[in-house]
Chain A
Amino acid sequence: MLEITGLTHSYGPAGRARPALRDISLAVAGGELVSIVGPSGCGKSTLLRCVAGLIRPAAGTITLGGSPVERVPDGLAVVFQDYSRSLLPWLTVADNVALPLRRKRGSAPAAAGEADRTAGPARAGRRARREAARAALATVGLTSEGGRYPWQLSGGMQQRVAIARALACDPVLLLMDEPFGSVDAQTREDLEDLVLTVRGQRDITILLVTHDIDESVYVGDRVVVLTPGPGQVRADLRVSLPSPREQITTRQLPAFVQLRAEVGRLVRERETETGAHSERGAAGPVPGTEATAANTGTGQG
């Protein structure tokens, strides 16, 4: 589905460019949820921006469904790290969520698209959009906030609006940059489960950046650990935990505990030790987990 090969990117003028990503290779199968962890400034957001087609990488290729990403791909949705600045302050919450539903559908599947298009009148479209926005807000627990403005909401609520907006447009590829950073623990667990539910219901591929190691293991099919900036893939771990996952019991599984410790160790490791660890090596196989080399990651879907 998504194939990243030799992705390298630097910021700044040529000559004084500062590297942000170095030689990232990653293959993600359709329907897979890949968690990306790594220290602050290692290039996680940069990686997502490259995949989204928002910046053109200095080197390397990204293909999506076989064709190279040169512009923003169809069927993409993004939850930006700067969620509060990504909401339009002059639109209500409901209008914010409904806004991307007006985008052009490049190559919509014929079956679904036909009925929409023959239905024709703009009024029906508007009502359908409003309904979809309401439904999306309901899934993030903001049913009654649709008429308010983003700046009237708390940070965590704004973050949920951004998530609702991304889910409402039924993406094929969903990029989430620390999507649960500002919400309370209870809501955070609810949102993690929401993402897992949505992923179970629709055919959707998700890249999720997080600082929370527990979370990366809990939601992920795979956990990709990046080195401190400029980011390289330090490890690409498969998460073999039973589905469906459950907040209490899954987190008690020995496999979960061990994998979490493993990811934690990999994130904390000093730069100097990078050489000692091959991506494949990653401290040997742990029961319930297997380390996969990044460029052979086949996924499961």
Chain B
Amino acid sequence: MSTARIARHLGPAARYLAAAGRHLAPGGRHLTRWLVIAAAAGLWELWARAQQSPFFPPPSSILARLYHLWFAGPAAHLFLTPDATGNLLPSLGRILAGLAIAAVLGGAGGLALGRSRAGAAYLDAMLQFVRALPPVTLVPVFIAIFALGTPMEVATIAFGTIWPVLLNTADGASSLDPVLADTARAFRLPGWLRLVRLIIPAALPKFFAGLRLSVSLSLILMVFAELAGSSNGLGYEMNNAESSFNMTSLWAALVLIAILGNLLNAAELAAEHKLLAWHRNARQRRT
């Protein structure tokens, strides 16, 4: 449990909180988590103010910078500054486009692969081989193909995030319960009905397991592709901040990326929660 690990470093007070959190309702546990984060930030604040280190500005000034850079805009623009619309939104758009391509192609390809025994047998070795390649190493290739810009970045994200979705979905589609498969055959369900009523729902839990990995990968790939050369985006802002030795802005970008990652995860979990209610409940019932 990560709260427990943090607690060990934060002393008895936080440890007490974490222990209390375990006995609380989920809402209470959330509260504890935020308290732990706030306590960590507070300690960092004290330490940074004492040190006056140029590399580690205090969190308060990072948050202030975060706010002024991106969220101090007019209400009409949802409080987004021009900087945010010019950099945050393109980065978010690339992530979503890349993930959408990965989800659609990976999902469809995974279904096809999982359902065709021959396809899986022939392609599996090759897919595993290609997957072993770290996706960021293909950035130079994509730069050569697409030149710098959004298509290159989207291609990088899509190519890097498609593997978890593809292989997990194929796994899910190939492991349909044999009794269900027999049921579909015995009742002579037409092919399309088997696909939408049996194969896709049965593969969905694995699809989402893959997508969860892809979501965290997509952030890495987004930042890396934008660092490699881009005229906007969060990676571009980080490049700028670094070359002008603006550590506060650099940290602000990092915090923003962390927030973005958490939001994407939460969105993925919400979709999963909604679509897989049967899965969660059926599993609880069985154990």
Chain A positions near chain B (C-beta within 8 angstroms): 49, 52-54, 72, 74, 76-78, 80, 82, 85-86, 88-91, 99-100, 102-104, 106, 149, 151-152, 165, 169
Contact = CB atoms under 8 A, between A and B. Distances in A.
A54 B281 CA distance: 31
B176 to A, nearest CB: 11
Nearest to A48: B186
B282 A102 contact: no
B179 A82 contact: yes
A185 B186 CA distance: 29
A86 B184 CA distance: 9
A102 B188 CA distance: 9
Nearest to B276: A90
B186 A151 contact: no
A88 B190 contact: no
17 contacts: A72-B188, A76-B188, A78-B182, A78-B187, A80-B179, A85-B179, A86-B180, A90-B279, A91-B197, A99-B189, A102-B189, A102-B190, A102-B193, A103-B193, A104-B190, A149-B278, A151-B278
Interface residues of B, number: 21
Contacts of A86: 179-180, 182-183
A213 to B, nearest CB: 27
Q: Please provide the 6 A-B residue pairs with the shortest distance between their CB atoms, ordered closest to farther.
A: A100-B187, A85-B179, A151-B282, A78-B186, A90-B201, A90-B278
A151 B285 contact: yes
B198 A88 contact: yes
B185 interface: yes
A104 B188 contact: yes
A99 B187 contact: yes
Interface in B148-207: 177, 179-180, 182-183, 185-190, 193, 197-198, 201
B178 to A, nearest CB: 9
A271 to B, nearest CB: 30
A76 B188 CA distance: 8
For A52, A72, A89, which residue has the most chain B Cβ atoms within 10 angstroms?
A: A89
A interface SS class: loop
Contacts of A78: 182-183, 186-187
Given A149-B281, A151-B281, A88 B185 contact: no
A85 B197 contact: no
Output the residue of B177, B187, B197 with the most chain A CB within 10 A.
B187
Most buried by B among A74, A86, A149: A86
B177 A99 contact: no
Q: Which of A90, A99, A151, A165 has the most CB of B within 10 A?
A: A90
Contacts of B185: 53-54, 72
Given A49-B182, A72-B188, A80-B179, 9 more contacts: A77-B186, A78-B183, A85-B180, A86-B182, A100-B187, A100-B189, A102-B193, A104-B190, A106-B188
A169 B188 CA distance: 11
Interface in B187-231: 187-190, 193, 197-198, 201
A74 B186 CA distance: 9
A88 B180 contact: yes
A103 B189 contact: yes
Contacts of B186: 52, 54, 72, 76-78, 80
